[in-house]
Every structure is written in C-alpha cells, then in structure tokens.
Amino acid sequence: MSEITFDWKPGIEEVCLKLKGKKRIGIQVPDGLKTKSHEIVTFVTKLTEAKVVLWGEPTYGACDLADRPLEEIGADALIHMGHLPMPYHSEFYAVPTFFVPVRHTGKLSLSKKAINELKKILPQKIGVVTTAQHLHMIDSAGKILEKEGFDTSVTTGGPRLAAAGQLLGCNSSAARKLNVDGYLYIGTGLFHPLTVALSTGKPVACLEPHNGTVTIADPRPFLKQRYAAMSVATNAKRWAILFSNQIGQKRIELADKIEELLIENGKETIMIGSMHQSHDQLLGLGIDAAVITACPRLAIEDGPTWPIPLLTVPETQILMGKRDPEPYPFDEFA
C-alpha cells in the first residue's frame, strides 16, 4: 500500500505569494490536518511576516468559512485549507479568501484484480466521481479503465462545485449530469458514493485509491436507518428547526417553510440558529424531534447518535405528507 500523507506545502507557498503586505491572516484547517496546524501557522508566518491566527471552530467544507468572524477581529485575509471554493458564493467573502487544496499523496492503486471486480459490478458506460482530495487521480483512472474497455465520462456539477468529477456530501450533480449506466467513486468513506447511488438509482463501485479495495455502495442499510428515524419521529410533538448562518449552509427561507409545514400539521416548533449544530443545543428544551436545514450530513452521520430523531428536510416533508416516501429523496443543496 502506498503511503498516505497530505500534500499542503506547495499550495500554501503559492497562496502566500499573494499575501505580501497583509497584517493579520486567519487560517482554517479541517480535522484531518489538525495535527499539522502549528506547522502550518509557523510556515505561513515565515512566508508572509504577518500575524497569523488559527481559527478554532471546526470546518467541514467551503460552506463554512470564517471570513466574517475574522473580519470582526481585523484580519485582512483568510486561508481556507482542504476544500475547493464554491463558485456561487465566491463574490461575497467578507475578507479576501484563498483556498489551499490538500490532496493525498498516495498513488492510485488500480490493479488487474480491482479492474476485474469493477467489471463484475459496473456496466461498460460509467461516470467517474471523487472528492477534492483525490481529484488528481481521475485522469489516470480514466485512462486505465478506457484501455480495459470501459467508456468513462467526467463532468463538472452545479454552482457549488469547482472541479470536474467533484462530489460534495450535499451535491452529487457531477454524477447526475452524466448520461451513463453506473459510476466509479474514487475515495474513502461511504457517504459520497451513497449520495450517488441514491440520487441516480444506478450501480456505484467504490475504489479505495490507496489499497485498491473495491466495494459496492449498497444503500439498503442506510435506507433502513433513515426510514426508522422517520418512524420514530411520527409521534413527535415538539420540533426544533435547526438552521445555520454559515455562507454555504444558510437556508433560512427553507427553515421558515418547514416550520410552517410542521405548524400546519399540529406540531409545536422552535427555530434554532447557530454556526454548527449539536444535540447539546436542545438540552432542556423538551424537543421530541429535530429537522436540519444546514448540512444534511449531520442527520445522516451523527443523527443515529442523537437521543431524538434528527431528520433531513425531505424526510420531514415525507412525514408531513408533502412528499412521496419513495424513491428516497436525498437532501441536496442546489
């Protein structure tokens, strides 16, 4: 297995060339790079001679930028690491914001054995999708697969996406836009390929790019868990509608609509806003169920650990009779 490390220095060096003369620079670092934070801050300080601060709130994507709080403390630039920009809100940053892509340095592992497994799972005409950390592997994977008889396609999704083949947990348009019969997902984790499987209804094979393991994205256990959460929420009386003020997760009008829908259905409601949402915010409020209008990953990945059901917007609409329960509607940000 090839070594998996994060390649962040070249991106920082490039960005720092644009930051000469800046006095105070804020840096956001995703969890996967947290242990490198001190090294990164020291490196940027040396290259720019600015006062550099690490922003301590978690960051999960280009959807939650620290540009506004950094403006409040007089920063004149933000370096956001690990995610690509979301083109649709790139004109609205409160301070100049620079994205440093971070990619895994491990080489693509696509052995003959893996290719044979892919042939068993996938039809000939496939789309190739991945996350920001593995975008650099798309071309080489495509070339190998074409030689093996696959017809591969890649495209750029909607305005939340910056690169061809890029998926977000809340947006699989780079898959949906393709006229293909199945998908290869290059990456780790099940969440992204599940969004593709659910939003397209087509087979999705997952290639773990560092060890070459091939699996199928099977949505059945996921669906069982989501319909169970909906079932538990059926008799909930008091609902919290959770919303975020973050630039790429803010859906306040949708939160208003969901509250109206719940009230129409005889529910008690309370709208709760925050940067990031957690069950602690609901303690003592007598809440029986919650719906999240911010990042839908929270409901899917953390929801099962909450003591009350945490539903996505489409799940709540199903429960309130506003939507068909099947096919399961993934909560996608446009």
As measured in angstroms, the least distance from the Cβ of 60 to ligand SF4 is 4
E strand segments, the chain: 6-7, 24-28, 51-54, 77-81, 97-100, 103-104, 125-130, 151-153, 182-186, 204-207, 214-216, 238-244, 268-274, 289-292, 310-312
> Counting contacts by CB under 6 A, is residue 63 touching ligand SF4?
yes
Q: For residue 206, what are the β-bridge partners? A: 185, 215
Residue (155 or 171) nearer to ligand SF4, CB:
171
Tokens for 174, please give them: 């780079």
Helical H segments across 164-301, by residue range? 173-176, 191-200, 220-233, 252-264, 297
> Counting contacts by CB under 6 A, is residue 50 touching ligand SF4?
no
As measured in angstroms, the least distance from the Cβ of 112 to ligand SF4 is 34
The secondary structure of 144-184 as a DSSP string is HHHHTT-EEE----STT--STTB-BTTB-HHHHTS--SEEE
Residue (50 or 258) nearer to ligand SF4, CB:
258
Tokens for 298, please give them: 């929270």
x-or-dash string of contact with ligand SF4, 20-39, rule CB under 6 A? --------------------
> Counting contacts by CB under 6 A, is residue 297 touching ligand SF4?
yes
Residue 327 is given by DSSP the state S
SS3 state at 279: helix
Q: State the Cα–Cα distance between residues 118 and 203, nearest whole angstrom.
A: 11
Total Cβ atoms within 10 A of residue 188: 19
Q: State the Cα–Cα distance between residues 226 and 303, nearest whole angstrom.
A: 9
Residue (61 or 165) nearer to ligand SF4, CB:
61
Q: How many residues does the chain have?
A: 334
From 141, 161, 295, 318, residue interacting with ligand SF4 (rule: CB under 6 A): 295
From 11, 157, 169, 309, residue interacting with ligand SF4 (rule: CB under 6 A): 169
Measure the CA angle with vertex 181, ends 179 and 183; round to 5°.
95
From 145, 154, 168, 318, residue interacting with ligand SF4 (rule: CB under 6 A): 168
Size of the site for ligand SF4 (CB under 6 A): 10
Residues numbered 179 to 218 that lie near ligand SF4 (CB under 6 A) are none
Span interacting with ligand SF4, options 94-102, 168-176, 285-293, 312-320, rule CB under 6 A = 168-176
Residue (44 or 162) nearer to ligand SF4, CB:
162
Tokens for 251, please give them: 């859906």
As measured in angstroms, the least distance from the Cβ of 46 to ligand SF4 is 31
From 26, 43, 44, 61, residue interacting with ligand SF4 (rule: CB under 6 A): 61
> Counting contacts by CB under 6 A, is residue 60 touching ligand SF4?
yes
Q: State the Cα–Cα distance between residues 198 and 217, nearest whole angstrom.
A: 10
Residue (29 or 122) nearer to ligand SF4, CB:
29
> Counting contacts by CB under 6 A, is residue 282 touching ligand SF4?
no
Residue 138 is given by DSSP the state H
From 172, 173, 249, 317, residue interacting with ligand SF4 (rule: CB under 6 A): 249
Residue (50 or 162) nearer to ligand SF4, CB:
162
Q: Which residues bind ligand SF4 (CB under 6 A)?
A: 60-61, 63, 168-170, 248-249, 295, 297
